[in-house]
Chains A and B, each alone.
Chain A
Amino acid sequence: MNAPLNPLRPADAPIARVRGLHKSYLLGEVKVPALRGVDVDIPRGCFTVIAGPSGSGKSTLLHLLGCIDRPDAGRIEIDGVSPQTLADDQLSEFRARRIGFVFQSFNLLPVLSAVENVEYAMRLLDPAQGHSPAQRRQRARELLGEVGLGGMEDRRPNQLSGGQRQRVAIARALANRPDLVLADEPTANLDGHTGAEIIALMRRIQRHTGASFIFSSHDAGLIRAADVCIRVADGQIVGASIPEVQHEPA
């Protein structure tokens, strides 16, 4: 097992700690290894990119960090919690409360308006920990305002552009004030200009909220904007660094 990589502020407790992670998929009858013994600490409160070519295992790592998949071997801790020890329902609650997701294809619910999409994420919390319906609606509107969609709250996803949909998805990911926001190639389905806007928006929100953002991407713009870049190839960590060009402070 390699020494864990923790390139930034090594004294702080990482948001995610990964040790000896293995994951394989069956492709037909062939077992394809996606991760082969990954050890990494992901720093808290940072804008972290997991970069690598297609098929390198970056999405698999992101899925495991997001507790939507289980490793074949190895250990993960998210903010001190080991998801492997949680039952399925507990894991769902953990995701609802602690993790926000942004997907490449936005994955908004088509039957809900923008504000309802954001609000719906809040409904999944235990009522004792969540908001009242009025508070939920208010917070959803505020979040949409923050991502620049004020006045478009009642539009359905099919009435929004790709960039606007991704903004709704970002607002939805932030709805429950998660400690960790995971984004799987969030700019891959956007044109360059819109992608840059989305990167800038997420960077600004990350600084504002202090949450830990982890992306999988091979978008150079996103990599440049990151605090930390973890490089993956052939299912292994091949390096971690602070990108040379740092994003302008917000």
Chain B
Amino acid sequence: MNLLDLAWRNLLRNRRRSLLTLGALCVGAMAVVIFGGYVAAMINVLQTDTVRDSGHLQIMRKGFLDFGRGNPERFAIRDYPALINRIADDPELKPMLRVATPILRVQGVAGNFAAGASSTYAGTGWQVAERDRMLGWDGNDLGLPPRANRLQADQPESGVIGLGLAQLLSMCQALELRDCAMPPAAATQDDAPAIDASLSQLAAQSNATTTPADATPAIELLSATSGGAPSVVRMQVLRTERQGVRDLDMVYAAMPIALAERLVFGPEGKGASAIVVQLEHTEQIPAARARIEKLLADFPGGADMEVRDFKDVQPQYNQVVNMFSALFQFIALLMGAVTLFSVANAVGMSVGERVGEIGTLRSMGFKRRHVRRMFILEGALIGTLGAVIGAVAGALLGEYGINQAGITWTPPGRAMPVPVGVDALNHPELLLGTVLILALIACLSSLWPANRAAKMEIVEALRHV
């Protein structure tokens, strides 16, 4: 018989109240674990999506993220094949490396001159086969199917554009798009020239230098070469790809890198905006980054380059993670408050009912701290028990209930739905943290009634018998 045993028996004394308190704590712990597991799963999905799109690391000229779009010549990596070979052949990087591929950012005006429509675009040139490989990354073992690569290696003159851009370029009918909106009739001015004559003239040049148009719908992409001269290529549009963000959807274009290089550097030019490095696992980023920085130090022009991770390249990743983290903290705070008041109420009532008993124990030689400890132990016991049961129940419900239900949703900024999952079992820190924090809150919330009990005068307490 010790204080813990006594505390346990006292909890069993008023079973109804203890069960109600336990229930409240279980629900609180379950909510924290399920939502925490959901956030963890969500972050995993988001990370997978981001890494598939941007790789883990990107090697680029210093300042490219801020100024590169406006000056492709200044920020281009011209000898990227040599750098990629060095990375791919490095014995330290090799076990970590999945893909090392160049990308080229390009922007300008896209025109469907047959329909008299044009709009700005921001595109990226890819090596199609490497892009395929990148879109299949599943380093977090989520079992997500690979994202489809709309680019095709056997069609070097063909690319993909956003649905919004297709609408702006009046390509709905040509591409046989179902969800494509036509421009309002009032917006069309029949008497005005549909497009600037100089742009049409430029577009006409592209027909002479590129493959003649076939049945596949095509657009003209206009840009400036690295030398500042206007440049235009004709790109066949394989299909559209809806982007989650409207502004992006209205400018999105993806194309084979050779086409982008021709647009930016001229027919014989080569260059990349960045080298995208995708690793086997996200945890390898620090080691891979350190190694690449070492390789860059020995690479001609490497001193002017930097290595940025996917969180730098796509800052919205951190924004979404922070948003979910804030939501989780809010839920945890609410559940902490539920625990606080439930336990404080239960222990407070217990103190009120046992005033005479406190007097008896004190007269027998119980010290004030023994009384305090006894009631805190009762709070800690019910808090720990409730948190453990709730955490385990939450993890099991998530794993065998929610994860099996096949529910999906489309996160902000995404075009494709993702499964609603709860990943609690793989996050022992979430389970342990929930139990420890709720147990600690239970202890703290017992402190006030326990102190009240400890401060009672013996004679006053005995009068309550």
A-to-B contact residues, CB < 8 Å? 63, 66, 68-69, 88-89, 92-93, 95-97, 101, 103-105, 107, 109-112, 116, 119-121, 123-125, 172
Contacts and interface: CB of A to CB of B under 8 A. Distances in A.
28 contacts: A63-B459, A68-B363, A68-B458, A68-B462, A69-B458, A88-B367, A89-B369, A92-B366, A92-B367, A95-B365, A96-B364, A96-B365, A101-B364, A103-B360, A104-B465, A107-B462, A109-B357, A109-B360, A111-B9, A111-B10, A111-B13, A112-B6, A112-B9, A121-B364, A121-B365, A123-B1, A123-B2, A124-B366
Given A97-B365, A111-B9, A121-B365, A105 B459 contact: no
A95 B364 contact: yes
A112 B1 CA distance: 9
B368 interface: yes
Nearest to B357: A109
Contacts of A120: 1, 6, 364
B356 interface: yes
Given A63-B459, A69-B459, A112-B1, 15 more contacts: A68-B362, A68-B458, A68-B459, A88-B368, A89-B367, A89-B368, A93-B365, A101-B364, A105-B356, A107-B356, A107-B359, A110-B13, A112-B9, A124-B364, A172-B364
A172 B364 CA distance: 9
Looking at chain B's contact residues, is the secondary structure mostly helix, strand, loop, or mixed? helix
Contact of A107 (B1, B9, B360): B360
A92 B361 CA distance: 10
A133 to B, nearest CB: 9
B84 to A, nearest CB: 73
Contacts of A103: 360, 462, 465
Contacts of A121: 364-365
Chain B CB within 10 Å, residue with most, of A93, A95, A96, A107: A107
B1 A116 contact: yes
A134 B249 CA distance: 80
Contacts of A105: 356, 465
Interface residues of B, number: 26
Nearest to A120: B1
A93 B366 CA distance: 8
Interface in B328-366: 356-357, 359-366
Contacts of B356: 105, 107
Nearest to A121: B364
Contacts of B365: 92-93, 95-97, 121, 124-125
Contacts of A109: 6, 357, 360-361
A92 B1 contact: no
Nearest to A172: B364
Nearest to A98: B365
A107 B366 contact: no
Nearest to A100: B364
A107 B458 contact: no
A87 B390 CA distance: 44
Contacts of B9: 111-112
Interface in B422-465: 457-459, 462, 465
Contacts of A111: 6, 9-10, 12-13
A105 B357 CA distance: 11
Interface string B204-242: 000000000000000000000000000000000000000
Contact of A95 (B1, B359, B363, B465): B363
Nearest to B6: A111
Nearest to B365: A96
Interface hub of B364, B457, B459 (most chain A Cβ within 10 A): B364
A69 B362 CA distance: 11
Nearest to A101: B363
B459 to A, nearest CB: 5
A172 B360 CA distance: 12
Interface in B393-441: none
The listed residue with most A CB atoms (<10 A of its CB), out of B360, B368, B369, B465, is B360
Nearest to B2: A123
Nearest to A97: B365
B295 to A, nearest CB: 67
